[in-house]
């Protein structure tokens, strides 16, 4: 049975990714800070782990002998205005979105290098490639932040680093940049977001899952270092 690790497994996307991989026959280590809602089963092992804690990440990996897939999905944002940003907030987002993905990748690559390879998918964002348009957020208080964008741009860059340095070990690293995924946002925001999106709708988790399954498929053997925007054309204007 192929083994996968998914971080942020308790979140909106992580949950669906875990289910999707289990349906494809994977055994999944479902990693999150909160695992109460993740069911323990023959195919899912919930792992309570702070991916920014180097020692705990190493402890977790010491129990893993083989690994086929790593999905670096855990990510956080911050919604206070740029002028009010504290160093603590800034560092927290950097730590989860970049350091956490780095630590999980570092340990995974050690295992994958000693086997026949593996596949790593980083969940970035369209806001790693373009800035957010504050006009669509109105007074929702959910406008995207500079540090979120910077970390997602960093994750796309780290994807290229890992692809170029570990491709020779048959380790493929790619990223997915989701556009906005519908999650009961305000009607105003949804209307504005749809107007800006060529396909005139927000994304669904299923839209991302199909791309994720493509990237980890055995048939996808030569796609490496790519960032695939799954955004209804948002970045294409
Ligand atoms: N949902 C969207 O519209 C959207 C759009 C673009 C990109 N993304 C990206 O997709 C990924 C998943 O997003 P989501 O909407 O499912 O988010 P979410 O908030 O629903 O889930 C994120 C999960 O990460 C976990 N997490 C946070 N810090 C952690 C840590 N230190 N260690 C372990 N787990 C930790 C949280 O507990 C949470 O369960 C994120 O990287 C996000 O930036 C989401």
* Phi, psi of 99, deg, nearest 5: -60, -45
Q: pLDDT over 70 for what percent of the chain?
A: 100
Domain that holds residue 64: 3-230
Counting Cα atoms < 13 Å in the Cβ hemisphere of 166 gives 27
Per the DSSP assignment, residues forming a β-bridge with 123 are: 176
How far apart CA 147 and CA 144 sit, in angstroms, is 9
Cβ-in-10-Å burial (0-12, 13-18, 19+) of 32 comes to buried
Residue count (the chain): 237
Give me the pLDDT at residue 141, please.
86
Residue 34 CA, closest ligand 1 atom number: 37
Q: Per the domain annotation, does 237 fall within a domain?
A: no
Ligand 1 site, residue 74, Cβ cutoff 6 A: yes
Read off the pLDDT band of 139 (50, 70, 90). Answer: confident
Q: Per the domain annotation, does 235 fall within a domain?
A: no
The string of pLDDT tens digits covering residues 6-54 is 999 999 999 999 999 999 999 999 999 999 999 999 999 999 999 999 9
Dist. CA 90 → ligand 1 center (Å):
16
Dist. CA 191 → ligand 1 center (Å):
23
The string of pLDDT tens digits covering residues 47-67 is 999 999 999 999 999 999 999
Q: Per the domain annotation, does 79 fall within a domain?
A: yes
| Ligand 1 mutation pick, 76, 97, 129, 177, max ligand atoms within 8 A of CB | 76
> Checking DSSP bridges between strand 3-7 and strand 69-72, what pairing results, if any?
parallel
The string of pLDDT tens digits covering residues 153-173 is 999 999 999 999 999 999 999
The one-character DSSP state at 145 is: -
Ligand 1 site, residue 96, Cβ cutoff 6 A: yes
Domain total for the chain?
Answer: 1
Give me the pLDDT at residue 140, please.
85
Ligand 1 site, residue 132, Cβ cutoff 6 A: no
How far apart CA 171 and CA 68 sit, in angstroms, is 9
Indicate if the alpha-carbon torsion angle 17, 160, 113, 32 is positive or negative: negative
Residue 202 CA, closest ligand 1 atom number: 3
Counting Cα atoms < 13 Å in the Cβ hemisphere of 217 gives 10
The string of pLDDT tens digits covering residues 73-117 is 999 999 999 999 999 999 999 999 999 999 999 999 999 999 999
Q: Per the domain annotation, does 27 fall within a domain?
A: yes
Q: Per the domain annotation, does 33 fall within a domain?
A: yes
Residue 97 CA, closest ligand 1 atom number: 41
**Segment 56-59 long-range contacts (CB within 8 Å, at least 24 positions apart):** 57/103, 57/104, 57/107, 58/107
Q: Residue of the nearest CA to atom 1 in ligand 1?
A: 181
Average pLDDT over the chain reads: 97
Dist. CA 132 → ligand 1 center (Å):
18
Q: Per the domain annotation, does 236 fall within a domain?
A: no
Decide: 223 and 172 in contact? Cβ < 8 Å. yes
CATH value at residue 158? 3.40.50.720
Per the DSSP assignment, residues forming a β-bridge with 229 are: 177
The string of pLDDT tens digits covering residues 202-228 is 999 999 999 999 999 999 999 999 999
Give me the pLDDT at residue 38, please.
97
């Amino acid at each position: 049975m192929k083994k996968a690790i998914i971080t942020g497994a308790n979140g909106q996307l992580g949950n669906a990714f875990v289910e999707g991989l289990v349906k494809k026959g994977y055994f999944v280590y479902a990693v999150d800070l909160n695992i109460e809602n993740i069911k323990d089963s023959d195919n899912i092992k919930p792992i309570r782990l702070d991916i920014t804690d180097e020692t705990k990440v190493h402890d977790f990996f010491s129990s893993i002998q083989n690994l086929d897939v790593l999905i670096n999905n855990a990510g956080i944002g911050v919604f206070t205005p740029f002028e009010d940003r504290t160093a603590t907030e800034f560092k927290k987002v950097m730590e989860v979105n970049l350091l956490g993905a780095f630590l999980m990748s570092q340990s995974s690559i050690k295992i994958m290098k000693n086997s026949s390879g593996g596949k790593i998918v980083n969940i970035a964002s369209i806001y790693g490639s373009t800035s957010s348009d504050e006009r669509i957020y109105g007074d929702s208080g959910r406008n995207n932040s500079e540090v979120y964008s910077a970390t997602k741009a960093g994750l796309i860059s780290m994807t290229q680093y890992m692809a170029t340095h570990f491709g020779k070990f048959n380790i493929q690293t790619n990223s997915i940049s989701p556009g906005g995924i519908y999650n009961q946002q305000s009607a105003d925001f949804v209307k504005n977001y749809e107007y800006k999106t060529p396909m005139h709708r927000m994304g669904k988790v299923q839209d991302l899952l199909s791309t994720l399954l493509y990237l980890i498929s055995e048939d996808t053997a030569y796609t490496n270092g790519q960032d695939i925007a799954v955004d209804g054309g948002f970045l294409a204007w």
